[in-house]
Amino acid sequence: MRYRARLAAALAFLSLSGCSSLRIVENNPAAVTVRYDGIVQTLSDATAVAEKRCGRYGKSAKLRKDEHIALSERFAHFDCVGR
């Protein structure tokens, strides 16, 4: 029971911390990489951000790799491809 309480507290802390925001770490006409937490933000949220960024170049985002680094640190790598 204690384990569950600690886990719930840790997850609540992570979801409220500054680590929970979407962040673009790569952005150019060929590719976009979005950092997300996987708890509050999902791959769908990262995809929406990538679609907007690729859209600036008249392209669509295509997921290349979804990388899970830690419990609350994930990177979605997208290629910007012609429509």
Task: Say how far apart CA 45 and CA 6 lie, in whole Å.
Answer: 28
Mean pLDDT of all residues belonging to the chain: 86
pTM of the model: 0.74
pLDDT(83) > 90: no
Displacement of CA 13 from its chain's centroid (Å): 18
Number of helices (H) and strands (E) in the chain: give both, helices first. Answer: 2, 4
* Residue 47 identity: T
Mean per-residue pLDDT, 65-78: 94
Show Cβ contacts of residue 55 under 8 Å, excluding neighbours closer than 6 positions. none
pLDDT(76) > 70: yes
| 12-22 pLDDT tens trace | 555 444 455 89
- Sequence ranges of the domains in the chain: 2-82
The two tokens of residue 40 are 């509050």
| 32-58 pLDDT tens trace | 999 999 999 999 999 999 999 999 999
Task: Say how far apart CA 80 and CA 52 lie, in whole Å.
Answer: 10
